[in-house]
Copies of this chain bind each other. A is one copy, B any other.
């Protein structure tokens, strides 16, 4: 494959003509494909239908400790649920509070509480002139939306191979007391799919923030969401590492069963130090008498234990793996060697991250849409929806059936090619110097 940058305008236009014909063909297919969100497929949801049978009218809905799950009470979650979710999150049951559906809700409430009441006795953030959060980019749009909603200023730090740029983070948190938190998806990150290295986690645990109410918001959304049985990323457990580093209260860890059982009816949790938990429970007792305990019990009885959950995740992987592998193989086949894009090769999670050359992402997404394929909005992976390079596109392979996905990715690759050709030609017109260089390259 000859890189596009080394082709002459004439060559590019010839290629473009063929691609346009292919694009028109796609437009004629009247496609309606949605790859915008990391939603499990119907096939994956079917895996958990047994959940509907584990509690029947003949069953006793009483916990081991005698708690009647049907009635009021148990603010922090039933013991059995803390045990299995503890194993899932790699922390002791005593370090967990179980919530209702949606870990996003737990994260939102955590920020909201800090706004109105501070963190462990600190000044409520709403009383401060300025509150900032570090956002690792590209990252998860719903994280950024929460901080934006609360008027928190967001500071971008780039994601590297080994995790975020720790030199930048260490400097920022040490120097700026207004920085109160950092959003992280440490494992099979959203959207890059890579995981933080051991060194990265250790440096996180050793941070010396200027603000005593600084916390790491560790959204371990994909902790058990591997694609392969042996070839898995491993993440150092951050709570234990913080404790070893003498920073036991530094981190809030979030997780849920959304992509294990049902996104529409799961259980979520926070794991953190006892000090932090006491601070949280002080608020939680005013907010609710208790979250849905019957659904907690349903999850416990269905999965049994962490091994049961891991076996269940293997079934998810069997469905997701071919989808991830198809996306990557189509990108390799269609775009490999052209020098017009880069993509990640995750071993788990829900996303593949794609980078176009600068200034093409929006146009690619728009062009996909015109042919019936909805991708995640370009810019969504950056705070305020602003990707400074206009290059990152999040690919979410989980929801469409495999046949649709293949079609979608072929269309996507086609759009990347067309948009990039237009961009290269435009760049050459606007910046004569690179044009000469490219022509020289083409003559070789």
| A interface list, Cβ under 8 A from B | 37, 39-40, 42, 45, 48-53, 55-57, 59, 61, 68-74, 100-102, 104-105, 108-109, 112, 115-116, 124, 126-127, 142, 145-146, 149-150, 258, 262-265, 283, 286-295
Residue of B nearest to A285 (CB): B145
Please, how many angstroms separate the alpha-carbon atoms of A264 and B294 in the complex?
Answer: 7
Cα of A435 to Cα of B286 in the assembled complex, Å: 46
Complex Cα spacing A71 to B71, Å: 27
A105 to B264, CA, bound (A): 19
B57 & A45 in contact (Cβ 8 Å cutoff): no
**CB proximity of A154 to chain B, nearest CB, Å:** 14
9 shortest A-B CB distances, which residue pairs?
A: A265-B294, A49-B57, A126-B126, A70-B262, A108-B287, A264-B293, A72-B263, A45-B70, A105-B288
Instruction: List 16 A–B pairs whose Cβ atoms lie within 8 Å, in order of A's numbering.
Output: A42-B68, A50-B57, A53-B56, A70-B262, A71-B262, A72-B258, A72-B264, A74-B264, A100-B100, A100-B101, A101-B290, A101-B291, A101-B292, A102-B289, A265-B292, A265-B295
Taking a contact as CB atoms closer than 8 A, the residue among B42, B71, B73, B116 that contacts A115 in the complex is: B116
Cβ of A389 to closest chain B Cβ, rounded Å: 26
With A100-B291, A142-B289, A149-B286 given, can you name 14 additional A-B contacts, CB distance below 8 Å? A45-B71, A50-B57, A52-B55, A71-B263, A72-B264, A73-B264, A74-B264, A101-B288, A101-B292, A104-B289, A105-B287, A105-B288, A116-B116, A264-B293
Nearest neighbor of A148 in chain B, beta-carbon distance: B286
Q: Give complex CA distance A59, B52 in Å.
A: 9
Residues of chain B within 8 A of A50, CB atoms compared: 57
Contact pick for A295, options B61, B73, B292, CB 8 Å? B292
- Alpha-carbon gap, A68 to B49, bound state (A): 13
Hey, which chain B residues are within 8 Å of A45, CB to CB?
Answer: 68, 70-71
* Contact, CB under 8 Å: A288 / B104: yes
Residue of B nearest to A115 (CB): B116
